[in-house]
Chains A and B, each alone.
Chain A
Amino acid sequence: MLGVTENRHNLRPDRNVQDHPPNNELWVTLIAAVQESQDTHSFERLFNHFAPRIKSFLMRSGADATLAEECAQDVMATVWQKSHLFDPARASVSTWIFTIARNKRIDAIRKQRQPQPEDLYWMEDHEPDHEAVMSLQQESDILAQALTELPEKQRVLVEQAYFGDMSHSEIAKKTGLPLGTIKSRIRLALDRLRHSVDVKTVK
Chain B
Amino acid sequence: MTKHIKHHLTDDLISGYSCGSLTEAVSLAVATHVSMCDDCRAALESYDALGGGILETVDIDTTQDVSFAATMAKIKALPDAPRTKPVATNVPAPLVDYIGTRLENVNWRPIGMGVKQAILPTSKGAIARLLYIPSGTAVPDHGHNGLELTLVLQGAFRDESDEFKAGDIEVANEDMNHTPVAFGDQDCICLAVTEAPLRFSRMLHRVVQPFLKI
Q: Mark A141-171, 1 if CB is under 8 A from B, else 0.
A: 0011011100000000011011111110000
Decide if B187 is an interface residue (CB 8 Å cutoff): no
Cβ–Cβ contact B51 & A144, under 8 A: no
What's the minimum C-beta distance from A176 to chain B, rounded to whole angstroms?
A: 20
Decide if A31 is an interface residue (CB 8 Å cutoff): no
Given contacts A90-B45, A91-B52, A94-B52, contact A56 B57 (CB under 8 A): no
Among B21, B31, B86, contact of A116 (Cβ-Cβ < 8 Å): B31
Question: A121: nearest residue on chain B (CB-CB)?
Answer: B86
One of B60-68, B159-167, B197-205 at the interface:
B60-68
- Complex CA gap A139/B58 in Å reads 18
- Complex CA gap A199/B135 in Å reads 51
Among B20, B53, B64, contact of A56 (Cβ-Cβ < 8 Å): B64
Q: Which A161-195 residues sit within 8 Å CB-CB of chain B?
A: 161-167, 190, 193
One of B69-77, B141-149, B206-214 at the interface:
B69-77
One of A1-9, A46-54, A126-134 at the interface:
A46-54
- Complex CA gap A145/B58 in Å reads 12
One of B89-97, B102-110, B111-119, B172-180 at the interface:
B89-97
Cβ–Cβ contact B55 & A113, under 8 A: no
- Complex CA gap A182/B61 in Å reads 27
Q: Find chain B residues with CB under 8 A from A115 CB.
A: 24, 27-28, 30-32, 94-95, 97
- Complex CA gap A27/B92 in Å reads 31
Given contacts A56-B64, A117-B34, A164-B19, contact A98 B28 (CB under 8 A): no
Interface bracket on A: 35 or more
Decide if B100 is an interface residue (CB 8 Å cutoff): no
Cβ–Cβ contact A56 & B58, under 8 A: yes
Q: Find chain B residues with CB under 8 A from A165 CB.
A: 20-21
Decide if B158 is an interface residue (CB 8 Å cutoff): no
Question: A18: nearest residue on chain B (CB-CB)?
Answer: B57
Interface bracket on B: 35 or more
Among B30, B34, B71, contact of A51 (Cβ-Cβ < 8 Å): B71
Q: Which A81-119 residues sit within 8 Å CB-CB of chain B?
A: 81-82, 84, 90-92, 94-99, 101-103, 105-106, 110-119
- Complex CA gap A177/B68 in Å reads 41
Among B21, B62, B81, B97, contact of A167 (Cβ-Cβ < 8 Å): B21
- Complex CA gap A90/B44 in Å reads 11
Cβ–Cβ contact B74 & A74, under 8 A: yes
Question: A186: nearest residue on chain B (CB-CB)?
Answer: B15
Q: Find chain B residues with CB under 8 A from A60 CB.
A: 58
Cβ–Cβ contact A81 & B81, under 8 A: yes
Decide if B8 is an interface residue (CB 8 Å cutoff): no
Cβ–Cβ contact B49 & A162, under 8 A: no
What are the 9 closest A-B residue pairs judged by CB atoms, nearest first?
A95-B52, A118-B93, A51-B66, A94-B52, A118-B35, A115-B94, A117-B34, A115-B31, A98-B51
Q: Could you write out 5 A-B pairs with CB less than 8 Å apart?
A: A52-B64, A56-B58, A56-B59, A159-B58, A164-B20
